[in-house]
Structure 1
Amino acid sequence: MKQEQGIVLETIGDLAKVRIGRHEECGSCGACAGAQHVVVDAVNPLGAQAGQRVRFAFREENVLTGAFVVFILPLLFGGLGAVVGHWLARLFELEGNTPYILGAVFFFLLALVLVKLFDRRAAKEQALKPVIIEILDKHQS
């Protein structure tokens, strides 16, 4: 399990919104251009309050799965769509690049729908969220 530190911004039920600073892995990604801080929803079993610095843990495989779904899956689906477009073009004896492009675009858009469904499922599933494991500042700031 990977661990990070952050500051609790607010608590909502058994969840806490935790602001973490960017680190080397975030800085090289570029997906959050201009963002100096990332906010995550973390399970809050210790009852951390707003303003407290906390340490939280998350499974690295969840990060890898999310990165695959968001970045790689649409590319794979686009390629698959181009292959399906090629197959349909041969089946219906179509000329030109239009079937390949339409197939790639259709499957890419389908992948974006799957990414959105994955995101909704991940947002609801507590097991995929980081968990606060330690309150570093016992007092509120």
Structure 2
Amino acid sequence: MIEEQGHVIALIGDCARISATRRSACGQCQVNTACGTSLLARVFGRQPVELLAQNPIGAQIGDTVIVGLSEQGLLRTAAAAYLVPLLGLISGAWLGEHFGGAHAELITVLGAVGGLVLAFGWLRGYSVALAQRPDYQPVILRRLTPSVTVTLTELH
């Protein structure tokens, strides 16, 4: 299980909207001042990411929580996001070159674009299907700090 710390900013039914700050492994690398990833992180800053997570522990707004995501789900999603468009592009280009005839270059380019468009269409359907599966959803694992609820009578 991959874990990340975040803050509950809203409750939506049985789920919670979590705000988390992106972190990278740049602080632990020997060449963190010279690599492109570190440079981009410094230029663009660390923007918070919002995600919707299952809330089985009943976390409340303001709680600091640990959110988990299965490694298998992350790996499958990443593989699909990177490999499927690449395979669609290459396959479409190969088909265009193979069956292009007299205008092979033009048909190759059109085949590559068509393969990429089909791959993105498949990827969209795949992501919608995965969004319905609870084992691929982030889940709040534990609460780090409880929310502070102050009433008006306690302020006087």
TM-score w.r.t. the length of structure 1 is 0.85
Of structures 1 and 2, the larger Rg is shown by 2
Displaced runs of 4 or more, over 6 A? none
Q: What is the aligned partner in structure 2 of residue 9 from structure 1? A: 9
Letter in 2 for 1:50: I
Q: What is the aligned partner in structure 2 of residue 39 from structure 1? A: 50
Among 126, 135, 139, which residue is 2:143 paired with?
Answer: 135
Alignment of 1:38-117 (within 5 A): 38-89=49-100, 93-117=101-125
Quote how far apart the aligned CAs of 1:119 are: 2.0
Alpha carbons 1:9, 1:19 under 8 Å: kept:
yes
Give the aligned length: 136
Alpha carbons 1:14, 1:44 under 8 Å: kept:
yes
1:2-52 deviation line (CA, Å, top 9, x unaligned):
11110011111111111111110699497xx66611111111001111111
1:41-86 deviation line (CA, Å, top 9, x unaligned):
1110011111110012111221222222222211111001011112
Q: What is the aligned partner in structure 1 of residue 22 from structure 2? A: 22
5+ unaligned residues in a row in structure 2: which ranges?
Answer: 27-35, 150-156
Letter in 1 for 2:47: Q
Q: Distance in 2 between matches of 1:20 and 1:77?
A: 33
Q: Distance in 2 between matches of 1:13 and 1:64?
A: 28
Alpha carbons 1:49, 1:140 under 8 Å: kept:
no
Alpha carbons 1:85, 1:104 under 8 Å: kept:
yes
TM-score w.r.t. the length of structure 2 is 0.77
Give percent identity, aligned residues only: 32
Q: CA RMSD in A?
A: 2.4
5+ unaligned residues in a row in structure 1: which ranges?
Answer: none
